[in-house]
Amino acid sequence: MRRGKVAIMKTAFGAIAAAAVLATAWAQNRAQQDFSKVEIHVLPLRDNMYMLTGAGGNITVQTGKDGVLLVDTEYAQLSDKILAELRKLSKEPLRYIINTHYHADHTSGNENLRKAGNTIAGGNVAGDLGAEASEGAAIIAHNNVLERMSMTQGSQPAAPQGGWPTSTYLSGKKKLWVNGEGVEVIHPEHAHTDGDSIVFFRRNDVISTGDIFTMTSYPIIDLNGGGSYQGLLDAVNQILDLTDTVYGQDGGTLIVPGHGRLCDTGDLLNYREMVTIIRDRMVDMIKKDMTLEQVKAAKPTADYDPLYGTSTGFWTTDAFVEAAYKSLSQTVKQKK
Amino acid sequence: MDQVNPHKAGITLLLLAILGSVPAAAQIELSGVWSNQLHEDFPDRLAGPELGDYTGIPLNNAARLRAEAWDASLITLPEYQCRVHPSDYAPSFADIRIWEEYDKDTQALLAIHIHHFAWGTERTIWMDGRPHPPDYAGHTSMGFSTGKWDGDILTVTTDHLKEGWIRRNGVPRSDRAVVTEHFIRHENGLTWVTVINDPPYLTEPMIRSRDYVWSVAGQIAPYPCESVEEIVRPKDAIPHHLPGTNTFLKEYQKNHGVLEQGAMGGAETLYPEFRQKVIAAGDLGGKAPGPLQ
């Protein structure tokens, strides 16, 4: 479904929880950062693909004769630095931005970067918008990203309209053909949020996971944003179904996580192991009618805390356990 | 054209010949097939470690908890069946081939390669002074290694390792570990010392050595691995023990008469003082302390 600004204004917003703790947390995180000191690093992935790292979520870049495709856009304050790096990688225009979800550390650069690009318009792409349709790069996301970005989230105002998705999809998958390869944008339901997209570059065998998979913290389950623990685990398994290895758990598909270093199947398997084992422990405790405080005291994450845990920042180990407890309690209740 | 003094030219050629045969940085030849000697830590290696045996490992409580949750059935999962031994564990098994790679023109040593029979893995030790990759680069089971000569000892530093294991009974080694190795050749013998620094799971470096003998007619067989579906499970089923439910953990202690404090490992248990402490506390249950190993 392609939407222009006029159509966006007519969107009937669904019933979305007013509080958005994570949206607020990311905004606070952004406010505390000194972006002048942030460097954007470029890591080559394949011939025409790169991973960019900075202060927010990782960016995946695909280049080619059709133009530049980005997965996520980091913080707006870093847009100039990101554009400078993109210009080193390709002289072609920025055509597509795909958002893996709505959080500001992945989307707040949308507006700036979109303005730096343009869309090949005409046919049904232009629709009623005419010449306006070619202004800026297309921003592709699941429809729930548009809904969440265009409304107030807790104490946070809606994202600037210029950064909203311009092309959304509603069902399980959207397919593109860009720079000589099929790009699948796959929606797992209720994982990190309710608007996640996994982006699979088929020829390059590269997958951008968004925050379904992060290397820097326990899984971030945005309950107010429609996420769920079991949904996130299902999404991880969905990603694993797309991957191949060369031998054992090494090589093959490259995986760009939402945060942290470049990964492959073996890394994702380790992550899945952690997510699954902690789920099983917590479900066992919930079935024994343990309260949240009792679960916290039992330290179900203790063995993984050196890798994923933290007591500072917005996504502490406690915050993860609380979200997991709340989400898995619902899962247990539904299965009864 | 200037006249060439035959006497001076002869000396120069002689010097060149001598210098040409002398290693630039005291390097010694490690190439060849090396046969793995299994006498050290044998039960840990070919037979395989027993569950609940963490002796000799300076592990922390988090590592111990992970090991207690580990279920050997994990390796029935197809995606785990061909999981290779990481480069810091692979020396425990089977034979290896080492070969060197030189720049054709300068004859500078660029890299030393090692092929492990076990899982057919290969690693490269870069000798050309290149830097290690940045933090955001990917990790592999072999890691990224650079080497330098300390006299006749090759010292190798490896990082960018994938998560692995200290012992294959569930004791984890994180992907943040930095491993230092020393390759020490004694004529036809090779001692390979591995020092694992892993702050997430070890409170002190884990040090172990493995010995090899040069094999004059050594061959390395291929090691293909194909996963099969051994047990049909739901996608999100991972074999593991819930806390407090692993009934196998005490077997090692019972079968070998090892005290629980010792079996559970930890840095303290590595030192002679621990033995004295156990004796003083009367924790031996009337048994005489065994000989120090």
The number of angstroms, rounded, from the C-alpha of A179 to the middle of its chain's C-alpha atoms is 22
- CATH H superfamily, domain A5-264: Ribonuclease Z/Hydroxyacylglutathione hydrolase-like (3.60.15.10)
Average pLDDT over residues B108-131: 96
Q: CA A330, CA A310: separation in Å to the nearest integer? A: 25
In whole angstroms, what is the distance from residue A106 CA to residue A119 CA? Answer: 21
- pLDDT score, position A28: 63
Chain A hits for B243, CB-CB cut-off 8 Å, are 281, 298, 300
Taking any CB pair shorter than 8 Å as contact, residues of chain A touching chain B are 41, 43, 51, 53, 233-234, 237, 240, 247-251, 254, 260-267, 269-270, 272-273, 276-277, 279-281, 284, 298, 300, 302-307
Alpha-carbon span B282 to B185, nearest angstrom: 44
- A7 falls in which pLDDT band (50, 70, 90)? very low
Q: Is residue B125 exposed (0-12), middle (13-18) or buried (19+ Cβ within 10 Å)?
A: buried
pLDDT at residue A17 in the model: 36
Residue B7's H or E segment, with its range, is helix B6-21
pLDDT value of residue B42: 87
Do the interacting molecules here have an ipTM over 0.85?
Answer: yes
> Hey, how many other C-beta atoms are within 10 angstroms of the C-beta on B222?
6
Q: Which residue has the higher pLDDT, A23 or B101?
A: B101
Q: What is the mean pLDDT of residues A279-295?
A: 98
Model pLDDT, residue B65: 98
Check residue A18 and give its pLDDT: 33
CA distances from B115 to B90, B98, B100 (A): 10, 7, 12
Residue A243 identity: T
What are the angstrom distances between the C-alpha of A180 and each of A58, A203, A336?
23, 8, 49
Q: Please state, in angstroms and as integers, the Cα–Cα distance from residue B188 to each residue in A93, A122, B21, B32, B152, following that order.
A: 62, 75, 20, 10, 14
Q: How far apart are CA A288 and CA A329, in angstroms?
A: 11
* DSSP conformation class of A304: T
b/e map B134-155, b = 16+ CB within 10 Å: eebbbbbbbbbbbbebeeebbb
How far is the C-alpha of A174 from the C-alpha of A165, rounded, in Å? 14
- Domain ranges, residue B81: 32-49+77-215
DSSP B197: E
In a domain? residue B13: no
Q: What 3-state class would DSSP assign to A270? A: helix
Give a yes or no: residue B274 inside a domain: no
B238 touches chain A (CB under 8 A): yes
State the helix-helix crossing angle for A317-335 and A229-242, rounded to 10 degrees. 90
More confidently predicted of A316 and A34:
A316
Q: What CATH number should be reported for the domain holding residue B137?
A: 2.40.128
Tally DSSP H helices, then E strands, for chain A: 12, 13
What share of residues in chain A are helix, strand, coil (percent, to 5)?
40, 20, 40
pLDDT at residue B49 above 90? yes
Mean of pLDDT over chain A: 90
A179: left (phi over 0), alpha (psi -120 to 50) or beta: left
In a domain, B99, yes or no: yes
DSSP B46: I
Work out the pLDDT band at A5, boundaries 50, 70, 90. very low
Write the single-letter amino acid at B84.
V
The whole-number pLDDT of residue A125 equals 66
CB atoms B82 and A247 under 8 Å: yes
Stretch 85-124 of chain B: residues touching chain A, C-beta under 8 Å: 119-121
Res. A158: pLDDT tops 50: yes
Q: What is the mean pLDDT of residues B160-183?
A: 97
- Is A223 a residue whose pLDDT tops 70? yes
Q: pLDDT class for A44, splitting at 50, 70, 90?
A: very high
CB contact under 8 A, B238 and A273: yes
Is the distance from CB of A94 to CB of A135 less than 8 angstroms? no
> Would residue B175 count as lying in a domain?
yes
pLDDT for the residue numbered B27: 84
Give the residue from B85, B7, B243 showing the smallest Cα distance to A300: B243
Predicted confidence (pLDDT) per residue in B201-240, tens digit: 999 999 999 999 999 999 999 999 999 999 999 988 999 9
Total domains in chain B come to 1
Q: What is the mean pLDDT of chain B?
A: 89
Question: For chain B, give me the number of helices (H) and strands (E)?
Answer: 7, 11
Residue in this structure with the two tokens 């290397």, named with its chain if needed: A215
Amino acid letter for position B153: I
Q: Pick the more confident residue, B61 or B15.
A: B61
Which chain B residue has the Cα nearest residue A251?
B140
B162:A261 CB<8 A: no
CB-facing half-sphere around the CA of A255: CA atoms within 13 A:
32
Coil, strand or helix at A289? coil
pLDDT of residue B281: 77
**Which pLDDT band, with edges at 50, 70 and 90, does B46 fall under?**
confident
Average pLDDT over residues A278-297: 98
User: Among residues of chain A, what percentage have pLDDT more than 70?
Assistant: 87
At B9, give phi and psi (nearest 5°).
-60, -40
Cβ neighbours of A90 (radius 10 Å):
18
For residue A249, the chain B residue with the least C-alpha distance is: B83
To the nearest whole angstrom, how far is the Cα of B280 from the nearest Cα of chain A? 32
C-alpha B140/C-alpha A249 separation (Å) is 9
How far, in Å, are A93, A331, B69 from residue B98 at the CA level? 49, 54, 37
Are B243 and A281 an interchain contact pair (Cβ–Cβ within 8 Å)? yes
**Contact assessment for residue B139 and residue B161, using Cβ atoms and an 8 Å cutoff:** yes
CA distance B135 to chain A (A): 7
Q: Hey, what are B74's tokens?
A: 């994990």
Over 90: is that where the pLDDT of A87 sits? yes
Task: Tell me, yes or no, whether B276 lies in a domain.
Answer: no
Cβ contacts of residue A64 below 8 Å, gap of 6+? A48, A90, A92, A178, A179, A180
Q: B153 in a domain, yes or no? A: yes
Across the interface, do A276 and B237 touch by the CB < 8 Å criterion?
A: yes
pLDDT tens, residue by residue, B182-212: 999 999 999 999 999 999 999 999 999 999 9
Look at B236 and A237 and tell me if their CB atoms are within 8 Å.
Answer: yes
pLDDT band at A129; cut points 50, 70, 90: low
Which of B176 and B93 is assigned the larger pLDDT?
Answer: B176
Which of B60, B72, B59 minimizes the C-alpha distance to B246? B72
Bridge partner list, B240: B70
Beta bridge partners of B107: none
Pick the residue from chain A with its C-alpha nearest to B61: A303
The answer, yes or no, to whether residue A276 has pLDDT greater than 80, is: yes
| DSSP characters over B20-45 | HHS-TTS-----EEEEEE--TTHIII
What tokens were used for A129?
């918008």
Task: Residue B233: list chain A partners with CB under 8 A.
Answer: none
Q: How far is A162 from chain B (nearest CA, A)?
A: 31
Instruction: Give the pLDDT mean for B134-147.
Output: 98
Tell me what the mean pLDDT of segment B124-153 comes to.
Answer: 97
**In chain B, residues 44-83 whose CB comes closer than 8 Å to chain A:** 60-63, 65-66, 69, 79-80, 82-83
Q: Give me the residue from A266, A303, A305 closest to B69, CB to CB.
A: A303
SS3 A250: strand
Q: Using DSSP bridges, classify how beta strands A138-142 and A94-98 pair: parallel, antiparallel or unpaired.
A: parallel
Inter-chain residue contact B238 with A276, CB threshold 8 Å? yes
The pLDDT of residue B187 is: 94
* B119–A254 CB contact, under 8 Å: no
When pLDDT is averaged across residues A76-90 and rounded to a whole number, the result is 97
Residue B251 lies in a domain: no
DSSP A256-269: EESSSS-EEHHHHH
B108 inside domain: yes
Please report the pLDDT score of residue B15 as a whole number.
44
CB neighbourhood size of A285 (10 A): 20
Q: Where are the domains of chain A?
A: 5-264
Determine the residue among B233, B242, B245, B246 to mutate to test chain A binding: the one whose Cβ has the most chain A Cβ atoms within 10 Å: B242
Residue A33's pLDDT band, with cuts at 50, 70 and 90, is confident
- Res B289: pLDDT: 57
Q: How far apart are CA A138 and CA A119, in angstroms?
A: 6
DSSP A18: S
Q: Which of A126-135, A287-296, B186-195 has the lowest mean pLDDT?
A: A126-135
Per-residue confidence (pLDDT) for residue A119, from 0 to 100: 82
Residue range A80-96: mean pLDDT, rounded: 97
B291: pLDDT strictly greater than 60: no
Average pLDDT over residues A101-108: 96
Asked if B134 is an interface residue toward chain A (Cβ–Cβ < 8 A), one would say yes
Q: For residue B174, list chain A residues with Cβ-Cβ distance below 8 A.
A: 306-307
Say how many CB pairs under 8 Å bridge A and B: 102
pLDDT at B171 > cutoff 50 = yes
More confident residue, B27 or A70: A70
A233-249 average pLDDT score:
95
